[in-house]
Structure 1
Amino acid sequence: MQNTSYIALSRQAALQRQLDVVANNMANANTTGFKSEQMMFREFLVPTRSSQRAIGGKLSFVQDVGVLRDTREGPLTKTDNPLDFAIHGDGYFQIETEAGMRYSRSGHFRMDQTGMLVNSQGFAVMDDRDQPIIFAPNETRIEVSEDGTVSTENGRVARLKVVKFSNDQELRNAGDTLFETTLEPEVVARPAIVQGMIEESNVQPVVEMTRMTQILREYQGVQKMLDTEHERTMKAMQALSGARPA
């Protein structure tokens, strides 16, 4: 009797974590460069006391094994802001933070008080020499070519560093659309950067709402089964003890 409840509870716990992932996707539907995620599940078999027998079986639990990130490119939106950059195709901008190098698809940049190119959190955007990109006070006409070369009215300033990885799923969320990883980045030789545009989130709100509704229905179905199992157990205990129902 307890095994049924344990299996059902394992499914409910997995559904709760899945709902958290969907809710996070919905919350970041308008976050530039955000990539949607979904849970990965597998069957987890636990031997029973009778497993050593010829007809022994195993209990099948639900186990969430990780999160799969959708790395597909989000829609590009025109902003006409000269410091907004979008990467078309593979690649990440390299950002230097206080905790080390981080990587991001969000190219919503700005210039700080010192003339340094930074992201929305104020962290420096790296060039291909792993140095911050700094503009002179009199430089106002900023242009970025497709290969990432940054120029002004005074000439070439630097080249944006765009990197890629052997397995994008190894990147871990570091907050604020930043990723961290122990993998060695590989420089993209021919990036495709578009100035005056940003990459929107690739979250599809309608799809996420459908998933949320499905998760809720599944959770309610499991709860109904638990309630039915509890009622059956109580009736069995009353029958075995000879007690009359209250």
Structure 2
Amino acid sequence: MQTPSYIALSRQTALWRQMDVVANNIANMNTPGFKGESLMFSEYRTPSRGTDSAFADMLSYTYDFGSHRDVALGPMEQTGNPLDLAINGPGYFEVETDFGRFYTRNGRFMLDADGMVVTGQGHPVLSTNGTPFFVAPNERDIVIARDGTVSTENGAIGQLNIVSFEDEQALLRVQAGLYDAGEQDPQAAEGLAIEQGMLEGSNVEPTREITRLIDTQRAYEAVQKLIEDESDRQQRAIKALTGADQV
């Protein structure tokens, strides 16, 4: 494979990854608290081989060097469920998993068989004391104040631990709307309010993402056609130079 094909292949590889990202955005456009992502591209330039000239021709390759997460607030959706919670502002709920503490903006919570407040995957939601919340079987009225204080008819049982991070882009998406903070230390979040009986919707705009998917697919197909045409050109050139009927 010669230089034009390598250049085209670098672009095609980046477009393939872009399609994966856009498809994932579309698949999660109804996931509470989901944040859309996009790839970041740059041009990688290198001198053409076979020349020592200071003014050598430069070859330009496509390089996708990372992704960017749109952390803008999603739309607030009224549900009426007392354990549906939305963070109106910056911050993440802290939850305990088998692999350590993770963070999420998906506030669709529930009570498990023991009366513990958990995520849809059964992970305990943590308080500022680092402990789960338990609701007694005879307690019916669950009230969450805007500052995250959780109470029942028998009084307060704790306060939600809502945290923030210096670099949200460095959070690693793991599964089911959870993020791994890596080496970052969580800080107490400020400037927010907890909305009970509401969920933050995905901030993905379906029309825009579907348009991006179509454009990316068309670009991918165009590059594939270029690679095929270049391969045909090379085959014809080899036949012409060798005078052979077959290669």
Q: TM-score range by the shorter chain?
A: over 0.9
Is residue 144 of structure 1 aligned with residue 152 of structure 2? no
Partner of 2:243: 242
Partner of 1:195: 196
Contact 1:51/1:58 (8 A) holds in 2: no
Partner of 1:2: 2
CA gap of 1:150–1:19, structure 2 versus 1, over 3 A, is same
Residues in 1 aligned to 2:135 and 2:223: alpha-carbon distance in whole angstroms: 60
Residues in 1 aligned to 2:217 and 2:151: alpha-carbon distance in whole angstroms: 52
Partner of 1:83: 83
Partner of 2:228: 227
CA offset at residue 209 of structure 1?
Answer: 0.7
List aligned pairs for 1:24-103, cutoff 5 A.
24-50=24-50, 52-103=52-103
Residues in 1 aligned to 2:35 and 2:67: alpha-carbon distance in whole angstroms: 12
Residue by residue over 1:114-135, the C-alpha shift from the partner in whole angstroms, topping out at 9 and shown as x without a partner, is 1111111111101111111112
Residues in 2 aligned to 1:11 and 1:95: alpha-carbon distance in whole angstroms: 39
CA offset at residue 189 of structure 1?
Answer: 4.1
Unaligned runs of 5+ in 2: none
CA offset at residue 4 of structure 1?
Answer: 0.1
Partner of 1:164: 164
Three-state SS of the structure 2 residue aligned to 1:125 is coil
Partner of 1:11: 11
Residues in 1 aligned to 2:222 and 2:191: alpha-carbon distance in whole angstroms: 51
Partner of 2:213: 212
Question: RMSD of aligned C-alpha atoms?
Answer: 1.7
CA offset at residue 191 of structure 1?
Answer: 3.0
Residues in 2 aligned to 1:96 and 1:58: alpha-carbon distance in whole angstroms: 51
**Aligned partner letter, 2:161:** K
CA offset at residue 155 of structure 1?
Answer: 1.2
**Aligned partner letter, 2:219:** E
Give the structure-2-normalised TM-score.
0.94
Unaligned runs of 5+ in 1: none
CA offset at residue 52 of structure 1?
Answer: 3.0
Residue by residue over 1:126-157, the C-alpha shift from the partner in whole angstroms, topping out at 9 and shown as x without a partner, is 11111111122221101011111111111111
CA offset at residue 161 of structure 1?
Answer: 0.8
Contact 1:95/1:103 (8 A) holds in 2: yes
Give the structure-1-normalised TM-score.
0.95
CA offset at residue 180 of structure 1?
Answer: 0.4
Matched residue pairs, number?
A: 246
CA offset at residue 240 of structure 1?
Answer: 2.0
Three-state SS of the structure 2 residue aligned to 1:124 is coil
**Aligned partner letter, 1:239:** A
Residues in 2 aligned to 1:190 and 1:2: alpha-carbon distance in whole angstroms: 56
Partner of 2:129: 129
**Aligned partner letter, 2:229:** T
Residues in 2 aligned to 1:97 and 1:51: alpha-carbon distance in whole angstroms: 57
Residues in 2 aligned to 1:240 and 1:190: alpha-carbon distance in whole angstroms: 72
CA offset at residue 7 of structure 1?
Answer: 0.5
**Aligned partner letter, 2:109:** F
CA offset at residue 49 of structure 1?
Answer: 2.8
Which stretch of structure 1 is more off in the superposition, 130-139 or 96-105? 130-139
Residue by residue over 1:22-63, the C-alpha shift from the partner in whole angstroms, topping out at 9 and shown as x without a partner, is 111111111111111111111122333345322223321111
Residues in 1 aligned to 2:96 and 2:23: alpha-carbon distance in whole angstroms: 29
Residues in 2 aligned to 1:190 and 1:137: alpha-carbon distance in whole angstroms: 34
Contact 2:90/2:191 (8 A) holds in 1: no
Indicate the percent of aligned positions where both proteins have the same amino acid.
47
Residues in 1 aligned to 2:35 and 2:75: alpha-carbon distance in whole angstroms: 11
